[in-house]
Structure 1
């Protein structure tokens, strides 16, 4: 492995001033490049979907930390000095460019050689209401999802992890990157990648079979995060307020959704665990519809219907089958 690069003096000084001496995910005294605590590869993930891949593929040979803690809406993350320093200490960074602008900026300034951008590992697409929307007033990071060329997404939908097929493509790229950063354990990373891809292939089959015959193909959700999932399984996603789960929909959009619900026999309005359910419940109440959770899996909390990606995705499948009238 390459010899670990030295941490800039300014970074260490700033950390000490904040009383954050134990900053890194790996031991600062370890000079054997690519080794975190206990000699493991130090991997920093930007948010849960990237963290899950790193943990599943890296196994016992990696020490994975995440910048987005449970319960934090990833798009709105603002990095603290400790987290910026953590980035500088990483052997490998796994992230998705464009979904968290503050993270993208910090990574560009970190000097870390081994960075893995999930958006570059599969083909991104544009999905209806996902395009051209931003926070009102241009706030927060969702603005980058709606066509900000500086984000690198150019209006593309970043929620690739909600399609098991695309997520498997990303997994393969992450596995190859870990092998390159830590060739001594490349065989293990290759084996773990293959095992994860097999699980994702099985999940894809479950969704395809479970949603093949339904009473309706349309579902309503607060967050336009499910474009890839809808496209993969022949469904139609209708978002209340585009990409911003907290935004209030316009009266025209509410009326339009009420019309769509009647026309397409929609039974359920979906909300999510990391955002308010107020808008979804208001729309459901006014339209005589039910509510349920469809989790965009941007983070796992005690409110999540499962302990990891696979469990929550299967809970999503169950919710969709019930709402769509699967036969």
Structure 2
């Protein structure tokens, strides 16, 4: 009896050991830490978050309320790039980020400029059918290409698809989830594109005036004409001659509204509007997001922009 009892205990211990080893052998993949993505500014943050879903995390280098063009990084932010599983940025848009990536030794970097088809910086008028009209001198600090590609949802979709592929390589255990997140986001961007196309199809006028020429891609996609008071950088100050030209353009095209943005002063827009008896309204370039933004995320702000343009241009 004693021998049988002893043997039973040995069998029980052996079985438990086998089960423990089997469990350990099947679990190493689950020990992999969730991926961490660092995004240079808000639209890139939104794109990465839409793919990640419940897995991993995204931080942005451009804090809410900061002007993306003028970003300066802390030593801690620069150091964080080396620890990220993926850094997403747009070369030429934020020189501080370009420099930080070189300094940090970040291992995996995705430059949106290598994924998205960027348009050349346009001349003062941004016509949908005339995107080839440009000079290198118009680019200011951004070079010859306009960085504001996220104003076109189809270009955002291209970035989302690349992010999905990269995250699946970084974290293959959740590749299926990233594929699903990518598909859902691309579908939502397709719906947004359809809404914008329909909402801006039939309008009394196709010209719109903005303080910051950040809507070239929107104008190009939906066959509008953007008339920018300043250039692609909001820091560009319009000359008195340029302001006179804007006043003449507004009168010639029957423009009803001068658009300004949430992150910079509306003084120029207000002055021109008052001189001509026009309205002012927000058209958000979506370089950042704040409590004053006309929406809570990329899609809702794009839809707010659609509403603002539709109202100003008497679209039906």
Q: TM-score, normalised by structure 1?
A: 0.81
1:207 is displaced (CA, Å) by 0.5
The Cα of 1:132 is off from its aligned counterpart by 4.8
Q: Which has the larger Rg?
A: 2
Partner residue in 2 for 1:274: 263
| Alpha-carbon offset, residue 131 of structure 1 | 5.5
Report deviation, 1:247. Answer: 3.2
Deviation, structure 1 residue 46: 0.4
Q: Say yes or no: does 1:225 pair with 2:225.
A: no
Match of 1:4 in 2: none
Q: Give the aligned partner of residue 312 of structure 2.
A: 323
Inter-partner Cα distance in structure 2 for 1:46 and 1:121: 15
1:193 aligns with 2:159: no
- 1:219-258 Cα shifts (integer Å, max 9, x gaps): 0001111001001001000000112324331111111111
Query: What is the total number of aligned residue pairs between the two structures?
Result: 278
Name the counterpart of 1:183.
172
- Structure 2 residue 152 is matched with structure 1 residue 163: yes
CA distance in 2, matches of 1:157, 1:102: 18
Cα gap change, 1:186 to 1:132, in 2 (>3 Å):
same
- Paired residue for 1:27? none
Q: What TM-score comes out, normalization by structure 2 length?
A: 0.84
Q: How do 1:102-117 residues align onto structure 2 when only pairs under 5 Å count?
A: 102-117=96-111
Q: Where does structure 1 differ by over 4 angstroms across 4 or more consecutive aligned residues? A: 32-35, 130-134
- CA RMSD of superposed structures (Å): 1.8
Q: Could you say which residue in structure 2 is the equivalent of 1:12?
A: none
The higher-RCO structure (CA 8 Å, 6+ apart) is: 2
Contact 2:208–2:257 (8 Å) recurs in 1: yes
Asked if 1:263 is matched to 2:252, the reply is yes
Contact 1:96–1:117 (8 Å) recurs in 2 = yes
Richer in helix (by share): 2
Unmatched 5+ stretches in structure 2: 1-28, 125-133
Q: Is the 8 A contact 1:273 1:304 kept in 2?
A: yes
Asked if the contact 1:43/1:91 (under 8 Å) is kept, the reply is: yes
Q: Cα distance, 1:34 vs. partner?
A: 10
Equivalent of residue 42 in structure 1, options 29, 36, 56 = 36
- 2:85 alignment counterpart: 91
Q: Which residue of 1 aligns with 2:236?
A: 247
Q: Within 5 A, what are the aligned runs for 1:1-150?
A: 39-126=33-120, 127-129=122-124, 132=136, 143-145=140-142, 147=143
Query: Does the CA contact (< 8 Å) of 1:41 and 1:62 recur in 2?
Result: yes
Q: Is the 8 A contact 1:131 1:156 kept in 2?
A: no
Distance in 1 of aligned mates of 2:154 and 2:283: 19
| SS across alignment from 2:272 | helix
The CA distance in 2 between the partners of 1:143 and 1:89, in whole Å, is 32
Mark the CA change 1:131 to 1:70 in structure 2 (over 3 Å): closer, same or farther: farther
SS of residue matched to 2:186: helix
Q: Deviations over 1:253-290 (max 9, x none)?
A: 11111111111111100000111111111111112211
Per-residue deviation at 1:173?
A: 1.1
CA contact (8 A) 2:212 2:234 kept: yes
Structure 1, unaligned runs of 5 or more: 1-31, 135-141, 148-154
- Given that 1:93 and 1:114 are in contact with CA atoms closer than 8 Å, whether structure 2 keeps it comes out as yes
